Structures are given as structure tokens and as C-alpha cells.
């Protein structure tokens, strides 16, 4: 494994990421994504809202689906927040999943077109059977896009710590 890069695991096996992920206290990098309707938007389009960014390998896996559902439920009654579930899945798959699962409170968005999120946040896996997909991570940002919480999930087959992410969000105004 190369030094100077983040490492996670896939069922216990080491997986190298593209580089180091942004840290608490930094301003989150902007990135462009594709929505379910194929239109593009960027993180900074949500200025004035607190944000949760969840990075997923694929919405079509059990843990990613569960994580998306849990965050969707968790933010249902929280004002002034947007939750973006980012994966490299095609917008068609995201639209199908959200429609069939009743996901209405978060936005499942795709990084397939530019890999902007993967590049800016260094979450792309560079080896393993899931090479080129995103590792599992959670970021909580304030209205000015300053990062207040980061979790790079140790093994991508594990769920994130929802309570810690939501506690960090609750501290924001």
C-alpha cells in the first residue's frame, strides 16, 4: 500500500483510496453531481443550508440501501438541512431506488459524469473488486460549508455511526 493515502477495508482486506479526505475545520470542496432528472447541480448550490454528505459504493447493495433509508428517516423532521447521498450509480438507478423505497427527504445523486466528488474528497477506491467506486464516509457541514464531522467508515461493509453524525448536525444553527 502506498503511503500518503487513506486506507479502508472491504471485508477485512485493505483498500487504498485516492488520497487524504477533507478534515474537520476545513471548508468542504465544491463538486458537481448529476441528479435523477439528469440535470447537474453543485454542493454550493445549497448555500444557507446545513448539509450531510454520505458517500456510498452503490445504492444497490444492502448496507448502502439501509444507510440511505436511515438517513432519509433521520432528517425527515429537521429544518434547514439537505442530505446528499453520493455514489457513482447512474441517475436512472438512483431514481428507481428512491421511488421504490419512498426516499423523499434526501437527494441521491450521481458522481458518474465528472468524478468531481471522488476527486475532491479522495474517496475513490483504487484497488479491490470495487475499484473506481466510492468508499463509505459521512461529512456534516454547516451553512458555510465548513466541515464539523467526518467519518471514514473503517470497513465499507459496516454502517456509519448515525448517532454521532446526527449529534454533530444538531449542534449546528
Q: State the average pLDDT over residues 11-31.
A: 96
Q: Can you tell me the distance from the alpha carbon of 14 to that of 42, in angstroms, rounded to the nearest whole number? A: 31
Q: Percent of the chain scored above 70 by pLDDT?
A: 98
Respond yes or no: is residue 98 known to be catalytic: no
Is pLDDT of 162 > 90? yes
Is pLDDT of 32 > 90? yes
Catalytic pick among 64, 147, 165, 169: 64
Q: State the average pLDDT over residues 151-163.
A: 97
Is pLDDT of 4 > 90? no
Residue whose grid cell is 460549508: 145
Helices and strands, counts by H and E, the chain: 4, 9
**Which sign, positive or negative, has the C-alpha torsion 137, 130, 95, 100?**
negative
Q: For the chain, give the mean pLDDT.
A: 95
Give the closest residue to 30 by CA, choosing from 19, 48, 45: 45
**Which of the four pLDDT bands, split at 50, 70 and 90, describes residue 1?**
very low
Q: State the average pLDDT over residues 92-113.
A: 97
Note the pLDDT of residue 51. 98
**Which sign, positive or negative, has the C-alpha torsion 97, 99, 100, 103?**
positive
Structure-model confidence comparison of residues 8 and 4, the more confident one: 8
Note the pLDDT of residue 64. 97
Amino acid at each position: 500500500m502506498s503511503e500518503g493515502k487513506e486506507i479502508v477495508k472491504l471485508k477485512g482486506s485493505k483498500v487504498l483510496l485516492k488520497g487524504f479526505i477533507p478534515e474537520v475545520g476545513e471548508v468542504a470542496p465544491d463538486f458537481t453531481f448529476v441528479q435523477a432528472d439528469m440535470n447537474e447541480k453543485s454542493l454550493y448550490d445549497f448555500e444557507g443550508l446545513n448539509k450531510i454528505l454520505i458517500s456510498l459504493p452503490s445504492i444497490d447493495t444492502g448496507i448502502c440501501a439501509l444507510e440511505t433509508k436511515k438517513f432519509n428517516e433521520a432528517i425527515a423532521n429537521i429544518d434547514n438541512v439537505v442530505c446528499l447521498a453520493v455514489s457513482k450509480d447512474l441517475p436512472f438507478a438512483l431514481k428507481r431506488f428512491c421511488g421504490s423505497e419512498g426516499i423523499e427527504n434526501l437527494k441521491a445523486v450521481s458522481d458518474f459524469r465528472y468524478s468531481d466528488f471522488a476527486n475532491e474528497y479522495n474517496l475513490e477506491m483504487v484497488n479491490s473488486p470495487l475499484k473506481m467506486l466510492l468508499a463509505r464516509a459521512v461529512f456534516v457541514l454547516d451553512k458555510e460549508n465548513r466541515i464539523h464531522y467526518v467519518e471514514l467508515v473503517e470497513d465499507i461493509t459496516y454502517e456509519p455511526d448515525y448517532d454521532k453524525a446526527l449529534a454533530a448536525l444538531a449542534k449546528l444553527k
